[in-house]
Amino acid sequence: MRGLFWLITLFAAAAAVAIGARMNDGYVLFVLPQVRHEITLNTFFIVLALLFLLFYGVLRALSFTFSLPERARRFRARRHREKAVQLFEDAVRLLFEGRFGQALKKAREAHDAEAACGLSALIAARAAQRMREPEKQQEWMDKAKASDPRTEAATLMLEAEMMNEERHFSEALQALDKLQEKQGRHIAALRLEFRARQGIGDWDGVLRLTRQLAKRDALPPEVVREARIQAHLGNIAQLADDTAELSVYLRALPTDERDQRVVLAAAQALLANQAEGEAQKWIESGFDATPHDEWLGDLLILYGRLANGDPLQRIGRAEAWLKRYPHDARLLLALGRMCRRQRLWGKAQSYLEASLAVAPTQPAHLELAQLFDQLERGDDANRHYRASALLEAA
């Protein structure tokens, strides 16, 4: 539409000029000494226009001639930038392809060509790290820090990630602390800190970060669960020699984080400190709060070997569990062991034989053999000793 408008305007102007020229009777008189020349006004305008165009053409030609050096400089600069960008793109591609030697070479060339110097240095540092060349890695990390202030956060993130991979967890945390001073920590930084605190055994820090990341859905639920368990196990191991501190920690432990492995570690630590009553409460609460298919056999064995406190109360508690899970060979074995210790021979034999009927195990044969020894039934005892030995050898 715009083109049509300008075309109509051009035709209108041409018509106006033609009509004006036809109706124009004027002339121009040039008078010089001994010279007198007269031309029509139309001719004068045509000559004037041609002279203007000639003058304009000469000026453009001169301008173009004198600008050739600057044009050549800009052309070379453009070609240089295009080549530098191509080098940088090649470095990134080669790094992701796993061709680290070539990626390092291209990144060096891109850095020398001043193409995203900071990022080129980071690519070179990552490639050097993958090639296990720590001196080059450090050299390029230093260049990245000095090349471009805008890449400071990226440099600190990459440094923390590489330190984690090399198991230099303290250095990783130092880099993340610097990052926090600059712009705080986002989810990716929290993940790196989470890994570093696992590495140095800062289990309280791991629990704190696990809860933060879980709120943001930044970790899969199974990872969150396992991280919490490992953190609690680590804290229990660190507090194992201090009964008072251990008891305080265990009382503050959230109910939904009392996994069977945590309960087992807590009970073992309490038993090592002669706190059998508290260990018994922990084991019983652990069984009550945990689905049966997640019960640990080691925890049942530990419960069956408790010696202090009220043994009949423990037997009654275990028999209540047995009503719900009558075919649990581990629970039957624990009941047989507790009954044998209380000299309830008939019940002990019944529970141990029921355990063997569900799942023949070496501990059950051995426990039953020892029971028959106490009852002076040598033949039966020897039979179960042999069965226990065969299972142990298998």
What are the φ/ψ torsions at residue 308 (nearest 5 degrees)?
-90, 180
What does each of the 394 residues of the chain score in pLDDT, given as a tens digit?
A: 777 777 777 777 667 666 766 666 676 666 777 777 777 767 777 778 888 888 888 888 888 888 778 878 887 878 888 888 898 899 989 999 999 999 999 999 888 888 788 889 999 999 999 998 889 988 988 888 888 888 888 888 988 999 998 899 999 999 888 888 877 778 888 999 999 999 999 999 999 999 999 888 888 989 999 999 999 999 999 988 888 898 888 888 888 888 889 988 988 888 888 888 888 888 888 888 888 888 888 888 888 888 777 888 888 888 888 888 888 888 899 898 889 888 888 898 898 899 989 988 898 889 888 988 888 888 888 888 888 888 876 5
Contacts of 372 (CB under 8 A, 6+ apart): 378, 380, 381, 384
3-state class of 162 per DSSP? helix
Tell the CATH superfamily of the 310-394 domain. Answer: Tetratricopeptide repeat domain (1.25.40.10)
CA 183 to chain centre: 19
| C-alpha to C-alpha distances, 331 to 287, 296, 325, 351, nearest whole angstrom | 11, 10, 8, 9
Residue 277: the pLDDT is 85
Contacts of 347 (CB under 8 A, 6+ apart): 335, 336, 339
Adjacent-strand bridge partners of 27: 40
Residue among 312, 302, 371, 284 at smallest CA distance from 336: 371
The H or E element spanning position 40 is strand 35-40
- Tell me how far apart the alpha carbons of residues 37 and 31 are, in angstroms, rounded to a whole number: 6
Residue 309: the pLDDT is 75
pTM: 0.71
* Same-fold call for 74-147 versus 310-394: yes
- Tell me how far apart the alpha carbons of residues 209 and 212 are, in angstroms, rounded to a whole number: 5
For the chain, domain boundaries: 74-147, 150-217, 310-394
Residue among 363, 387, 345, 236 at smallest CA distance from 305: 363
- Tell me how far apart the alpha carbons of residues 355 and 331 are, in angstroms, rounded to a whole number: 8
Contacts of 241 (CB under 8 A, 6+ apart): 273
Residue 155: the pLDDT is 87
- Tell me how far apart the alpha carbons of residues 345 and 337 are, in angstroms, rounded to a whole number: 10
- Tell me how far apart the alpha carbons of residues 271 and 187 are, in angstroms, rounded to a whole number: 40
Residue 126: the pLDDT is 92
Residue 288: the pLDDT is 83
**Residue 145: Cβ within 10 Å count:** 17
Contacts of 150 (CB under 8 A, 6+ apart): 118
Whether residue 282 contacts residue 266, with contact meaning beta carbons closer than 8 Å, is answered with yes
Give the up-direction half-sphere exposure of residue 154: CA atoms within 13 A in the CB hemisphere.
Answer: 17
- In CATH, the architecture of 74-147 is Alpha Horseshoe (1.25)
Contacts of 26 (CB under 8 A, 6+ apart): 40, 41
Helices in the chain by DSSP H: which ranges?
Answer: 2-23, 41-97, 100-112, 117-130, 134-147, 152-165, 169-183, 187-200, 203-215, 221-238, 243-251, 260-272, 276-289, 297-304, 311-324, 329-341, 345-358, 362-374, 378-393
- Tell me how far apart the alpha carbons of residues 67 and 78 are, in angstroms, rounded to a whole number: 16
Pairing of strands 35-40, 27-32: antiparallel
What are the φ/ψ torsions at residue 29 (nearest 5 degrees)?
-115, 120
- In 70-122, the DSSP E strands lie at none
| C-alpha to C-alpha distances, 66 to 52, 63, 70, 77, nearest whole angstrom | 21, 5, 8, 19
Q: What share of the chain is helix, strand, coil (3-state, %, to 5)?
A: 80, 5, 15
